Amino acid sequence: MTDWTSGYVANVGYTYGYYAELSPLRAQLLMLNAGLALPQHGIACELGFGQGVSANVHAAASGSTWYGTDFNPSQAAFARDLAASYTNGAQLYDQSFAEFCSRDDLPDFDYIGLHGIWSWISNENRHIIVDFIRRKLKVGGIVYVSYNTSPGWSAMVPVRNLLARHAEIMTPPGAGVVGKVDSAIAFAHKLWAANPLFARAYPLIGEKLKAMEKQDRHYLAHEYFNRDWLPMSFAEMADWMETAKLSFGCSATALDHLPQLHLSAEQKTLLNEISDPVFRESVRDFVVNQQFRRDYWVKGPRPLNALERVSQLRQLRLVMMRPLQEVDMTITGTLGQGTMEEKVYRPLLELMSDFRPRTLGEIEFALREYQVNLIQLVECALVMAEKAVLVAAQDDDAIAEARPRTAQLNKTLLTYARNGRGLAYLASPVTGGALPLSVVQQLLLLAYVEGKKQSDEWAEYAWQLLKIQQQAVLKDGKALEGDAANLAELKVQAAGFQTSRLPMLQALGVV
């Protein structure tokens, strides 16, 4: 009998996450900062879409047509239900990579995304994917790929192999995947308690094991317990991508574009002396002990001259997607944590706190009295993009076109929240992506949508649903007990939601 799972964990569902890097719109700022021409983003594909949250949000909220596959039929069924809830939904399949990539009815793509796939599949599947990219990605198109990276993962490889082996042969039959994960982690703690020389040689692995103890078991099953798991160096990835005619574009992690956060003066000098881009990135991974990369690769990158780059940066539209009072003014890089410069960031954030899209050129003009220049604004935009505070915004025509679809999708997502299956995201036609919103916030919004006028009514509505779901409100990380305590906390949250969160949701087209 053929093993349709190909060694991948398939009997527990993947998490219901949203990954902004999969949005072609996000690539605009990063590609322009790297001095590269922007691609088209009309037709897109996600390989291995998991529960399909990202694929559906991007299909509903942007002007792109999305295709994709995930071999797990349970995940594909959920994703297709989402796709059926809005007009012209994503075309999603439950086929293996071999089946999907050999279809003769797929269009050529402007953008292909793989998140959390590359390191967890066999070389056979990697060859299939690279051949698909070579045949189906348009000239000028982008591939986004994330993967575990050496050298940062090198010490963990034998530990992961030990955990997977323990789960395979030492756990009693019938324990289930979660039971296998628990048992393997417990064994690792026993091994570390015996003070092996390996633990003394690699002390950080002990901290990694402690962190795993607190993580979601379904996530750990997918992360560490598949048959295939291969951290890969950047140079090895470049060799794979070269066979598909792809060149490295830039990192999809915005803070990677700010070397002052990660590199000492000596390290920057060393890297600047290296002319070969692949070798330079490889050396940088050693400098920062890189563990996970998110990268854009381009089929025929076209460098912009200085005038083109500045002109296109000034046309880039941004919008704020977090209330001003919730913005954390610290920033963390490899070199440590710092505080953002108030005289630059504060005027920018106050200007954008009305949640109205503006181009960088408009922002530059509006802040001229503060003597904030374009270079500073681009740096601020990169920092705020990584913190999901300032994000790219679509043009007005694209926003208008997306509104009916996001309204349909959000209605479904709010229904999930009412029924105890909240996904913690809603779609915005302004950003072309998702906006994080807790289940409690979604229930408060649902009360507003259903016509309740006062914030106290929203709180009472939310509490009645939470009680039915046998859930409680968390305060300082602890579940509250009793009607009075839960309702009192919900009223506080509802009042804050009314004054700060609701205006933002309205401005971003979520409601």
The two three-digit tokens of residue 468, written as one number? 């039915």
Residue 3's pLDDT is 52
DSSP 39: P
CA distances in angstroms from 330 to 38, 75, 333, 342, listed in the order given: 30, 37, 10, 11
Going by their DSSP bridges, the two strands 91-93 and 65-69 should be labelled as parallel
pLDDT at 229: 82
Enumerate residues 6+ apart whose C-beta is below 8 A from 439.
417, 422, 424, 471
9, with CB counted inside 10 A (0-12, 13-18, 19+), is: buried
Would you state the torsion angle of the CA atoms of residues 130, 135, 139, 143, taken in this order, to the nearest 10 degrees?
-30
Q: What are the start-end ranges of the E strands in 360-473?
A: 390-392, 425-428, 433-436
Residue 272 belongs to what H/E stretch?
A: helix 265-272
321/73 Cα distance (integer angstroms): 34
**pLDDT, tens digit only, all 511 positions of the chain:** 345 444 445 444 557 899 999 999 999 999 999 999 988 778 999 999 999 999 999 999 998 999 999 989 999 999 999 999 999 999 999 999 999 999 999 999 999 999 989 998 999 999 999 999 999 999 999 999 999 999 988 888 888 888 888 888 887 777 788 888 888 898 989 999 999 999 999 988 888 888 888 888 888 887 788 777 889 999 999 999 999 999 999 999 999 999 999 999 999 999 999 999 999 999 999 999 999 999 999 999 999 999 999 999 999 999 999 999 999 999 999 988 888 888 999 999 999 999 999 999 999 999 999 999 999 999 999 999 999 999 999 999 999 999 999 999 999 999 999 998 888 999 999 999 999 999 999 999 999 999 998 999 999 999 999 999 989 988 888 889 999 999 999 999 999 999 999 999 999 999 9
CA distances from 431 to 22, 117, 174, 198, 293 (A): 13, 25, 46, 47, 24
Task: Specify the pairing of strand 43-47 against strand 474-475.
Answer: unpaired
